[in-house]
Amino acid sequence: MKIIDPHLHLFDLNKGQYHWLKPENPPFWPDKPVIAKNFSEQALKLASPLNLAGFVHIEAGFNNQEPWREIAWLEENCQSSFRSIASLDITLMPALFSQQLDKLLTYQSVVGIRHILDDEALNILKHKNCLTNLQLLAKKQLCFELQISLSDNHAIDQLVEILSVTSGLFYCINHAGWPPLNIENARNKSHWQQNLQRLSKFSNIYIKCSGFEMADRHYSKNWQQAVINQCITHFGIARVILASNFPLCLWHASYQENWLSYSELKQCCNKPLTSNDITQLCYQNAYDFYKF
């Protein structure tokens, strides 16, 4: 079975900055040493019945002031088929944003950018330069990796306003929009579920299921399945993408085990998943979205 892993990070601690991986800087995870080491593409090993056909590298803080340096490092050191998502601040003055974007586009692997929104989502999305810069991304036919909590109602309200005027830009929600751990037992729909449904109505948004270990290192398979089910229920098979978040996924299981758990999904929305459905979720949707 072919896999494209559409969300992973490679590190070279001797060449990149990676402030977030240093022990003296937040986040202060007690298990940070597990990931605070060098990871090259040689660490991405899958055994039969799985075959890694490509990957998408998501910016990892190599150098956020000069983000093209991470792309140059990747293209110099990776031999596999891959695409890259660069770091770029969407609140920059449009002239500077355009200049940095043009620099990034001199590298053939670049298909989009990410600016981590998370707790600052509302302020970033309301920034005076945000809309202009996102419209330029659309003009350049690039995608925007949308790392935002779907439980943040005010930020999602602002995002919906932006979506109404950036229909030409394709977005991909990272880490399933940080779903709550109590999703399986909630009597009423959570804010996450309500906003998942709201955003699914925009045909230019995809959702990427990954990062489960960020919520709980020992998450249950039932919770993971419930999140994936909700995403497929609202977005459909064609706009849901499964990913590893390597190497952070190692907090929960090996790289092989992570992908085996996806490949063995049997049912969604009270219907059996076919082999074609699994291929779409683990390979074809990423192939299409990231322009392989």
- Per-10-residue mean pLDDT, the chain, length 292: 97 98 96 98 96 98 97 97 98 98 98 97 98 97 97 97 94 97 69 96 98 96 93 96 98 97 83 92 98 97
* pLDDT for residue 142: 97
Give the separation between CA 55 and CA 83, rounded to whole angstroms: 7
Supply the CATH classification number for the domain 2-289: 3.20.20.140
Is residue 41 within 8 A of residue 2, CB to CB? The reply is: no
Closest to 12 in 3D by CA, of 32, 39, 36, 33 = 39
Contact 191, 157 (CB under 8 A): no
Cα 159 from Cα 124, distance rounded (Å) = 10
Q: State residue 184's pLDDT score.
A: 62
Question: For the chain, which residues make up each domain, given as ranges?
Answer: 2-289
85: Cα separation from own chain's centroid: 9
| Alpha carbons 227 and 214: distance in angstroms, whole number | 14
pLDDT for 186 equals 57
Cβ atoms of 45 and 75 within 8 Å: the answer is no
Positive or negative: CA dihedral 178, 261, 52, 228: negative
Burial degree of 213 (CB within 10 A; 0-12, 13-18, 19+): buried
Inter-residue contact 18 to 62 (CB < 8 Å):
yes
Q: What number of helices (H) and strands (E) belong to the chain?
A: 11, 10
| Cβ-based neighbour number of residue 267 at 10 Å | 10
Burial of residue 102 (CB within 10 Å: 0-12, 13-18, 19+) is: exposed
Please report the beta strands in 72-190, taking only residues with DSSP state E, as ranges in sequence order: 82-87, 110-114, 143-146, 170-173
* φ, ψ of residue 165 in degrees (nearest 5): -125, 10
